[in-house]
Amino acid sequence: MTSPTLWRRALLTLALLVSASFVGVFVLGGGRGDASRASGSTEVASASLTSQDSPTDADELAAGRTLFVENCSSCHGISAEGGVRAPPLLGVGGATVDLWLSSGWMPLAEPAAEPERKPAKFDRAQVLEIVRYVTSLAPTTPGNPGIPFGLEISHADVAEGFSLFALNCAPCHTITGAGDALADGIQAPSLHGVTKTMVWEAIRTGPGNMPRFGPGTISPGQVVDIVGYVVENIQQPVSPGGFSLGGVGPVAEGFVGLFVGVGLTLLAALWVGDRNEPEEDEGHEGHEGPEGGDGHAGDHTGIQHGELAHA
Amino acid sequence: MIDPIFNWFDVRLGISGSGRRMVNKIFPDHWSFLIGEIALYSFIVLLGTGIFLTLYFVPSSKIVPYDGSYGPLRGQLVSEAFASTLNLSFAVRGGLLMRQMHHWAANIFVGSIVVHMLRVFFTGAFRKPRELNWIVGSTMLILAIFNGFLGYSLPDDLVSGTGIRISFSIVESIPLIGSYMAFFLFGGNFPGTAIIPRFFILHVLILPAVIVGLLGAHLGMLVRQKHTQFPGKGKTSRNVVGAPLWPNFAAKSGGFMLLVVAVTGFLSAAFQINPIWLYGPYVPYKVSYAVQPDWYMGWLDGALRIMPSWEIVGFGHMVPNVFFPAILLPGITFGVLQAWPFIEARLTHDYADHQILDRPRDKPKRTAFGAAVFAFYFVLFGASATDVLANYLSISLNVVLTSFRFLVILVPLIVYPVAYQICKELQSVPTAGQRKRANVIMRSSEGGYTTVPSEPRPGDVELSLDPLPLDEDVELVPVMAGAPAGGDDGSTGPGGSTGGGSTGGGSTGPGGSSRSQPPPAEDQGARPKGGIFTIPRDYR
Amino acid sequence: MPENAGGPTGSPEQVPSGHKKIPVSAARPDAPQFQVAAKNPRRAERVAVSGFLLSAAGFAGFGACYWQNYSNFWLAITFTIGFAGLGYGLVVWGKYLMPRGPFEETRHSLEPTPTQREEFMEDFASRGKMAVERRGVLLKALGLASGILGVVLAFPLIRSLGPLPKTTLRKTAWRKGSYLVDITGRKIKPADIEVGGFVTVFPPDDVGGAYSQTMLIHVTLLESGYMKPPPQFAQQRATWAPLGYIAFSKVCTHAGCPVGLYEELTEKMLCPCHQSLFDVTDAAIPIFGPAPRPLPQLPLYIDDEGYFRAQDGYNEPVGPGYWERGND
């Protein structure tokens, strides 16, 4: 081995180690105070969430680039510069890219389709690779957050989260997080089946028609509180009263009350009471009864004829 | 042991004398007469569970921090009404059961009143001499709906509180006196602190007292005038045929009451209702999506949604938009409802006493009209769920709303002629709707097949597989449209001739046609009458 | 459950009763109508007894679950079984083990005969007439007293229920110079709200107020200047929306619900109650749904310290309409 080769190898090894520790700190570490339950958490703490790791080594980005070129570039452009059908992705930040991929909105089912929730096409590792690649294409615009690695919600104040959720989220997503239809075909999706990271990212990036809640309106601690409430009480609501009927409220309760409740009581009434005997023309206003026929087979009402009665 | 006790009361109150008539009173036994009893028994459930709830519910808007067991609300500032309802749901033993039974019973109560009202309407039981009972009953419907609204608003949660805000706006919208009435009812501007205590006393004392009084009048008139009955053998307008109050009716009705209670219990076991802990307390600047009122107010909510944005403004005054769907519409609805016996008497010029019920098919105009009106309110009720429907069907909300605006006009217009036609079809076939007696195909020992009638059951009509024999004196002549065929009577015509062609008994033969009239000359050879619902009288 | 299915399906069978109907009071115990309805009374009895036994088990279970504080589900299920069993047994008893009838009762007309009417009129009307005839002054005085009572009752029964509305509905707590604060009382700066974000704001002296609640929305990014109002308000509202921020009353003009739903891309506000859609870039004019009037707009300015403040209160009453509102 010549010394330039050795030198290059040593540099490469060092670069790898540095990147690995960098990644390791973000993936495994955390608890830098950004997950504090105090609503007064400072911007510094949130900065640790919003800064993204930006490895510069070309090999690191190769996998992400391949995935991007194959799945995204046809609409978003080969360098994410955007196109007729899709916005540019330069500087959008890791959180946006992660959310749109994890939720399955992207890639679209067809180029002209509306984004819809579906199982994510990529696994977590692939998503991170794509995120890494896209965020490397341009510096992230200040204010666009990155993926909140190490998001810790175990200390979330769910009571505060509930209150904030009711004020800011319930008008679109419903107070039980069931989701509902907005105007012009848009939909506020259900909050079931989403991860805590996705909830965080949605609040901070405001995807689609969803408004954007930055640190000035909902502080970092408050976001954690809301995420905690969603994960704990929206996704696993306390339902001691029985089947929760989809959390849709009086609409579903009305159906059950009428069809099951009144329906069962009507069935009971059918059993307890009698049925009508087939009518005779006697004493009946204006309707012709069945022909008489012979005395037995034709006569069914039988109070006077010794036949079956109380049908 | 009973005898001395009975004797003690009898000697002082004279039960034996007047009681005999009561005990021997006859009640007709048809199952549809029990629907009103469903309402009565669910009302009793409401009273019983309601008493339990009043022992724990605190009807106060005073703000307190919640310190109960439900984590996501702990420490939050809520009204005492909300906190006490949470307490009932989580801390009081059996409290959630009582709350759920109360709310499910309320849904069944109003639902069964509506079904009962429909039964009375379609069978014409509201006619003279029972107009007053109809008015009493429809008043109870209005009070039940209103009391239900008051009841589910008591917990002061986010969903029902939004409804209270809307009701304030509705009262406010009444011309001339609206803002005064709203301020008087609410004790000031919205939200104020008087509304929960006032709703409470209306809900547990005033309205139930009025309902109990009206119920007494309703049942009293029923006992005095005696119940109507369906036409049948031996039933005239001068008698009542059925079972005596004691012991038959008492046992069956008592058992039925217990079954209604059991259904309420089943619903409370299986289905959660009004989980207010998931809604949180009412705060005027918070709101949820997918907020509908309970189903019996749904038609009002739907009317509010699909009403176009019209408003009358002029000369410094305004008739606001919500007046039309929320005041005018229910005003007309309940006004016409109450007055219906008199409207129908005027329209049909029928001022006679009626003790025998109609089959709905025998009064096709009334049935069709009632069906169309019911369809109108049903579409309004469906319109209250525009957003939920748009979400589940993945249709644009705008499209759903616009569709409902058309449907609310179109559906009743379609239902009327369809219902009318169905009635006419059913009329022409006397055995329509009755259980046919089946024929069983038996193989004889010789290997041949015969049909044998199956075991008769009450109410069976015989339906023979043998074609009816031709009358001997009938000549089969090929008919052309418009050409009169000579000499045949109605028995050769397929389709529903109006002579009431029964299919009773293969042996009836000529007897079967003795009652039918020959169709008018110009109809002979024309296409058979009747339509898609007609069962041909014979199988030629 | 067909009542006469009989046999293996479980319900007892009824004997066809088809006898002549009789008044129940006229029946003798040996009459056919007095026999029980069941073909097999023993079987019917067994069915009813099993119902009652099931009920007993249910109620006992209910007691146990209550004592041991079991969940709502177990309380309700045992309760249901108890009542269902009891009801079933009682109904079987009533249908199959009681006199099968049929019975009839005469329906007497309630209409009075002419004689009855005459006698009633005699007793009631003629005696009454004696007391009332030529007592006009008496009657008029009674009428006066009752009339005044009726009118005066309106005061305790109606008027004392609440205050007069006067001008309460006309004005909110917003004044010239009011800070815009959020629900915690914190003053808002433009940088606090992202593009496409919103905050619910109040005047400082009415935080949480039902009528003063306002939506402050950052609609679009403007380096300087104001959002352009629609032509009919070009003069009046020219400076009301600085730097792409705009504020509208959160109280829907239809029925008063909070219009908390902001669609960022389409720049519309949707009311969740009855789906009225307001165009934020067009003075919140309703473009869909039942709302009849636009949402009132709060005129904004940004003061020297960089906080949002109101130029003035709302220039019209907020919320739903009422008779006296006119064309404000």
Confidence bin at B442 (pLDDT 50/70/90): confident
> Of B295, B274, B279, B289, nearest to B383 (Cα)?
B295
Distance CA B110, CA B403 (A): 28
Give residue B259's Cα distance to chain centre. Answer: 19
Confidence bin at B515 (pLDDT 50/70/90): very low
Best C19, C52, C98 residue to mutate vs chain B (most B CBs within 10 Å): C98
User: Within this chain, do residues C135 and C194 fall inside the same structural domain, yes or no?
Assistant: no
Confidence bin at B529 (pLDDT 50/70/90): very low
Report if residue C143 sits inside a domain: yes
What class has domain A152-236?
mainly alpha
SS3 C317: coil
User: Within this chain, do residues B100 and B245 fall inside the same structural domain, yes or no?
Assistant: yes
DSSP string, B53-84: HHTT------EEE--SS-GGGTT-EEEHHHHH
Q: Report residue B47: phi and psi, to 5°.
A: -65, -45
The residues with which B317 forms a beta bridge, in sequence order, are B314
Nearest neighbour of A167 by CB, restricted to C37, C73, C200:
C200
Q: How far is A180 from chain C (nearest CA, A)?
A: 10
User: Within this chain, do residues B334 and B471 fall inside the same structural domain, yes or no?
Assistant: no
Residue B25: Cβ within 10 Å count: 19
Give me the domain span that covers residue C196.
190-321
Q: Is the pLDDT of residue A210 over 70?
A: yes
Instruction: State pLDDT tens for residues B14-36.
Output: 888 778 888 888 888 899 999 99
What class has domain A52-145?
mainly alpha
Best C77, C79, C198 residue to mutate vs chain B (most B CBs within 10 Å): C79
Percent of chain A surpassing pLDDT 90: 33
Best A236, A282, A300, A304 residue to mutate vs chain B (most B CBs within 10 Å): A300
Report if residue C138 sits inside a domain: yes
Beta strand spans in A87-210 (E): 180-181, 187-188
The last residue of one of the domains, among B285, B313, B348, is: B348
Could you tell me the residue ranges of all domains in chain A?
A: 52-145, 152-236
What's the ipTM?
0.88
Q: What are the chain C neighbours of A309 within 8 Å (beta carbons)?
A: 16-18, 102
| Highest mean pLDDT (candidates A119-123, B367-371, B520-524, C126-130) | B367-371
Asked if A210's CB is within 8 angstroms of C18's CB, the reply is no
Fold match between domain A52-145 and domain A152-236 = yes
User: Within this chain, do residues C214 and C261 fall inside the same structural domain, yes or no?
Assistant: yes
Percent of chain B surpassing pLDDT 70: 83
Crossing angle, helix B250-270 and helix B95-123, to 10 degrees?
130
Q: What would the mean pLDDT of B250-263 be, rounded to a whole number?
A: 95
User: What pLDDT was estimated at residue C7?
Assistant: 39
User: Within this chain, do residues B326 and B457 fall inside the same structural domain, yes or no?
Assistant: no
CA torsion, ordered B408, B409, B413, B419, to nearest 10 deg: 10
Report if residue B67 sits inside a domain: yes
User: Within this chain, do residues B38 and B177 fall inside the same structural domain, yes or no?
Assistant: yes
Q: Does C65 touch chain A (CB under 8 A)?
A: no
Asked if B29's CB is within 8 angstroms of A273's CB, the reply is yes
Q: Is the pLDDT of residue C157 over 90?
A: no
- Contacts (Cβ under 8 Å, ≥6 apart) of A45: A32, A33, A34, A36, A220
Instruction: State pLDDT tens for residues A219-275.
Output: 999 999 999 999 999 998 989 988 988 888 888 899 999 999 999 999 999 999 887
Lowest-confidence region among A276-280, B108-112, B227-231, B234-238: A276-280
User: Within this chain, do residues C135 and C255 fall inside the same structural domain, yes or no?
Assistant: no
Average pLDDT, chain B: 85
User: Within this chain, do residues C157 and C57 fall inside the same structural domain, yes or no?
Assistant: no
User: Within this chain, do residues C36 and C153 fall inside the same structural domain, yes or no?
Assistant: no
CATH of the domain at C262: 2.102.10.10
Q: Is the pLDDT of residue A138 over 80?
A: yes
Give the DSSP H or E segment for B17.
helix B15-23
Residue B314, CB half-sphere, CA atoms under 13 Å: how many? 2
Q: Is the pLDDT of residue B500 over 90?
A: no
| Highest mean pLDDT (candidates A282-286, B487-491, C124-128) | C124-128
Best A96, A162, A265, A310 residue to mutate vs chain C (most C CBs within 10 Å): A310
Confidence bin at C214 (pLDDT 50/70/90): very high
User: Within this chain, do residues B107 and B228 fall inside the same structural domain, yes or no?
Assistant: yes
User: What pLDDT was estimated at residue B44?
Assistant: 97
Asked if B166's CB is within 8 angstroms of C323's CB, the reply is no
The last residue of one of the domains, among C104, C127, C147, is: C104
Q: How many domains does chain C have?
A: 3
User: What pLDDT was estimated at residue A14?
Assistant: 67
Q: Closest-CA residue in chain B for A267?
A: B31
Q: How many domains does chain B have?
A: 2
Give residue C160's Cα distance to chain centre. Answer: 25
Percent of chain B surpassing pLDDT 90: 65
Instruction: State pLDDT tens for residues B305-357.
Output: 999 999 999 888 999 999 999 999 999 999 999 999 999 999 999 899 999 99
Report if residue B340 sits inside a domain: yes
Q: What are the chain A neighbours of C277 within 8 Å (beta carbons)?
A: 183
User: Within this chain, do residues B181 and B328 fall inside the same structural domain, yes or no?
Assistant: yes
Q: Does B513 touch chain C (CB under 8 A)?
A: no
For residue A49 the two structure tokens come to 């969430």
Instruction: State pLDDT tens for residues A13-70.
Output: 666 765 654 454 344 433 333 333 333 333 333 333 334 455 556 777 888 889 898 8
User: What pLDDT was estimated at residue B288?
Assistant: 94
Give the DSSP H or E segment for C75.
helix C72-96
Q: Closest-CA residue in chain A for C271?
A: A171
Q: What are the chain B neighbours of C250 within 8 Å (beta carbons)?
A: 285
User: Within this chain, do residues C121 and C94 fall inside the same structural domain, yes or no?
Assistant: no
**B97-106 burial by CB neighbour count: b if 16+ within 10 A, else e?**
bbbbbbbbbb
User: Within this chain, do residues B156 and B276 fall inside the same structural domain, yes or no?
Assistant: yes
User: Within this chain, do residues C25 and C140 fall inside the same structural domain, yes or no?
Assistant: no
User: What pLDDT was estimated at residue C19?
Assistant: 55
Q: Is the pLDDT of residue B536 over 50?
A: no
Q: What are the chain B neighbours of A188 within 8 Å (beta carbons)?
A: 289
Relative to beta strand C103-106, strand C22-23 is parallel
- Between positions 159 and 218 of B, the ones with CB within 8 A of C are 162, 165-166, 168-170, 172-180, 182-191, 194
- CA torsion through residues A243, A249, A254, A255, sign: negative
Confidence bin at C148 (pLDDT 50/70/90): very high
SS3 C1: coil
User: What pLDDT was estimated at residue A35?
Assistant: 34
Give me the domain span that covers residue B530.
435-540
User: What pLDDT was estimated at residue B436?
Assistant: 67
Q: How far is A171 from chain C (nearest CA, A)?
A: 5
Beta strand spans in B248-321 (E): 312-314, 317-319
Q: How far is C67 from chain B (nearest CA, A)?
A: 9
Lowest-confidence region among A127-136, B138-147, C10-19: C10-19
- Between positions 463 and 482 of B, the ones with CB within 8 A of A are none
